[in-house]
Structure 1
Amino acid sequence: MTRARPLPSSARPLTVGVAALAAAALLALGLGLSISVGAASIPLEQVWRLMLRPDDSSNSLIVWTLRLPRALVAALAGAALGVSGALMQGVTRNPLASPGILGVNAGAALAILVMVVFLPGLPAALYVPIAFLGGAGAALLVYAVASGVGLTPLRLALAGVAVGALISAASNALMILFEQRAQGALFSLSGSVAGRTWEHVYLLAPWVGVTLAVSLLLARRVNLLALGEDVARGLGARTERDRLIVSLIAVLLAAAAVAVTGPIGFVGLMVPHVARALLGPDYRAVLPLSALLGAALLTYADVAARLIDKPLETPVGILISAIGAPFFVYLARRIHRADS
């Protein structure tokens, strides 16, 4: 397993500050582009003006009704997936861990589909809790399968891929058998942020805001868990309790994103590696940077999704997968060579 060593609390403050400011500026520009680009393009300077002083123009209506909530959903979901992946990689000491690889995204999506098909009367406010239960169940199944053959990074990843494929097959079967009932879930599970409204922002923001804040408070515990079981216990950590809490927060973050955007893979895999490459293994720095980079990645991917086949739109999940799949293969080969 990959071992992460925490940096001293005063280590490299300038680098951390510069990286955070650069990521925040990148995200701000991405949000501006997300609001500017579309079937009807709006100049960036006009976007900023309408953000500060909305008026009765059609462009103002487009900004505030269509594009701003979509951009916020992309940023919130990207931040949630980025931090979820970082927490999973820290708590498992596995560089291949992420919500998509460990089956959490697929489990959350299946749970929402079951809710829509069999319990259509339930309110939308239950989307995130139901998705959490599905994601947690999938993660437990992956760990059970991987533990049966020996828990290594590659075996855990392979177990996650296998379980995720099985769950996705179950989702497809439900959509075929209950085609009419499943129509209501297709929009939510499309792996896209297209058409998301303020209702989706209000559904996603509280869950992501609270869990991100909690995850930052847990960063020191993640540092200890990343050192390994014996070292963490020697430093006074209650490893079983801490691992359970961190894992639940990671699953809840991923489930919140899936409940609104559908399963979008590889954000949680790639972003933490970039954050650690920039700032080192200290999760007190990695987690907030993962949130900013994850938000920026999904925001820019959504902008690109609108431009590839304009005026039609490509689901943003496809673009992320096109980048993430080669990254996953590269990591797996590097780990295999290191273990050989």
Structure 2
Amino acid sequence: MKPRTEKQSQKWPLLFLFSAAVLVMLIGVICNLKWGQAYVSWRTLYEAVTYQGSDKAHLYIQTLRLPRAIMACIVGMQLALAGMLTQITTKNPLASPHIFGINAGAALAVVIGLVILHHFGNFGLIGFAFVGAALSALLIWSLAGAGRQQYVRLALAGITIHFLMSSLTEGFIIMNQHATDSMIFWLVGSLNQAGWSDVRIIFPFFIGGMALFSLMLPAFKLLLLDDDIAAGLGQRVNIVRGISIVLVLLLAGSAVALCGPIGFICLLVPHIARAMIGPNLHILGPMTALLGGILLVYADFLSRFIAFPFESPVGIVTAVIGAPYFIYLARKQGGAK
């Protein structure tokens, strides 16, 4: 009876944390619906959400603010989970798709597609982003090579590719006379163009990514072990690592294609979740996703008031929050060594 009592005593705090996280996210969504450039009363907000009205304020909430808030939740969850998987796969607590150049590769491919083809659908954007992210990942892994120093070289190669891809992207935009303010906003990371079409397109990637993560969760635990130990247990670590990388590409690539390379969520959120509930992947994965959604929802809310009545890219807010934390983590890891 005693072990069961201990399990139950651990269960209730976790249930409280998850319930609180969901509640905080819902409050963030409500804040995004209520406040912004245009004033919306509580009654108008309630009427717009509960039934389809013909009032302009109702249409404004239903077609602009609501899909944007949902998009912030989904993209934040995807980026945070992709960051956690990147850190596990590379065995580097400072790793993320953004810092390692995967997001930058996706952004470069999307910009090249826009410059060459000018107009193509959102599925085309995601296709270009996935190819760019995959090519960046392959380039990084090939530069890192094999051996005991692989993970150190992986970090150096990732940072190098990040700066290279980012510079090429900026160069393409500067040389492109058709570049618009929306493209520049997108390059920093922006949700202000998000609509229901974007939600419908990214939703299958979100559901598929979460399902694949749940199915592969027992196997992903192998990535926490030393490679030699896992191989000694007869496990195919390279296959599991490959699946993890593909999942990172799907989650990060689809998010970058529609909202731009939003930085630091991938890095910041997994550490916060790990500090709250520990390293157990069964609990860490869902909590990381929830906290990612929370961070991006509130960052998008704050981005509306930095230069009010004009909007700022949400990537600026996440960078302001994430950059000091990255420095703190780097100093902490350096001190630990």
Name the counterpart of 1:65: 63
For 1:280, the equivalent position in structure 2 comes to 278
- SS of aligned partner of 2:178: helix
Using the alignment, how far apart are the partners of 1:44 and 1:239 within structure 2? 53
2:253 aligned partner, one-letter code: A
**Separation in structure 2 between the aligned mates of residue 312 and residue 222 of structure 1, nearest angstrom:** 43
> What is the CA–CA distance in structure 2 between the aligned matches of 1:275 and 1:265, rounded to whole Å?
17
Structure 1 position 13, deviation (Å): 2.7
For residues 20 and 334 of structure 1, the distance between their equivalents in structure 2, rounded to whole angstroms, comes to: 28
Q: Does the 8 A contact of 2:73 with 2:292 survive in 1?
A: yes
Aligned residue number for residue 256 of structure 1: 254
Contact 1:116–1:181 (CA under 8 A) maintained in structure 2 = no
Whether the aligned pair in 2 keeps the contact of 1:32 and 1:48 (CA below 8 Å) is no
Q: How far apart in 2 are the matches of 1:196 and 1:41?
A: 20
> Mean alpha-carbon deviation: is it higher for 16-25 or for 71-80?
16-25
Alignment map for 1:147-296 (pairs within 5 Å)? 147=145, 150-152=149-151, 156-180=154-178, 185-186=183-184, 188-296=186-294
> CA, structure 1 residues 33+44, in 2 after alignment: closer, same or farther (shift >3 Å)?
farther
- What residue ranges of structure 1 are gaps of 5+ in the alignment? 1-8
CA change 1:187–1:318 in 2 (3 A) is: closer
Quote how far apart the aligned CAs of 1:64 are.
0.2
Distance 1:44-1:288 versus aligned 2 partners, 3 A rule: farther
Provide the rounded CA distance (Å) in 2 between the counterparts of 1:151 and 1:11. Answer: 42
Q: 1:11 to 1:93 in 2, by over 3 A?
A: farther
Distance in 2, matches of 1:103 and 1:11, equals: 42
| Between 274-283 and 54-63, the greater mean CA deviation after superposition | 54-63
User: What amino acid does structure 1 have at the position aligned with 2:174?
Assistant: I
In structure 2, the gaps of 5 or more residues are 1-6
Give, in angstroms, the shift of residue 304 of structure 1.
Answer: 0.5
Kept after mapping to 2: 8 A contact 1:190/1:261: no
Letter of the structure 2 residue corresponding to residue 151 of structure 1: Q
Amino acid at match of 2:169: S
TM-score with structure 1 setting the length: 0.90
Q: Is the 8 A contact 2:76 2:295 kept in 1?
A: yes
Q: Percent identity?
A: 37
Moved more, 141-150 or 101-110: 141-150
- Are 1:266 and 1:320, in contact at CA under 8 Å, matched by a contact in 2? yes
Tell me how many residue pairs correspond in the alignment.
331
Per-residue Cα deviation, 1:108-160 (whole angstroms, up to 9, x for no partner): 0001111112234643312212211111211232333344893345x544432
After superposition, the Cα gap between the structure-2 partners of 1:241 and 1:152, relative to the gap in structure 1 and judged at 3 Å, is closer
* Structure 2 residue matching 1:180: 3-state secondary structure: coil
- Match 1:313 to one of 311, 314, 337: 311
Q: Does the aligned pair in 2 maintain the 1:103–1:164 contact within 8 Å?
A: yes
Distance 1:108 1:307 in 2: 29
> Helix, strand or coil for the counterpart of 2:150?
coil
CA distance in 2 between partners of 1:157 and 1:11 (Å): 40
CA distance in 2, matches of 1:109, 1:44: 38
For the structure 1 residues 183 and 47, does the alpha-carbon distance in structure 2 shift closer, same or farther, using more than 3 Å as the test?
closer
Alpha-carbon shift at residue 59 of structure 1 (Å): 2.0
* Alpha-carbon distance in 1 for matches of 2:87, 2:221: 11
> Contact (CA 8 Å) 1:189, 1:258: kept in 2 or not?
no
Contact residue 75 and residue 293 of structure 2 kept, 8 A: yes
Shift in Å, 1:331: 1.2
Contact 2:32/2:69 (<8 A) preserved? yes
Contact 1:174 1:182 in 2 (8 A): no
Aligned AA for 2:82?
Answer: S
Give the C-alpha shift of residue 179 in structure 1.
2.4
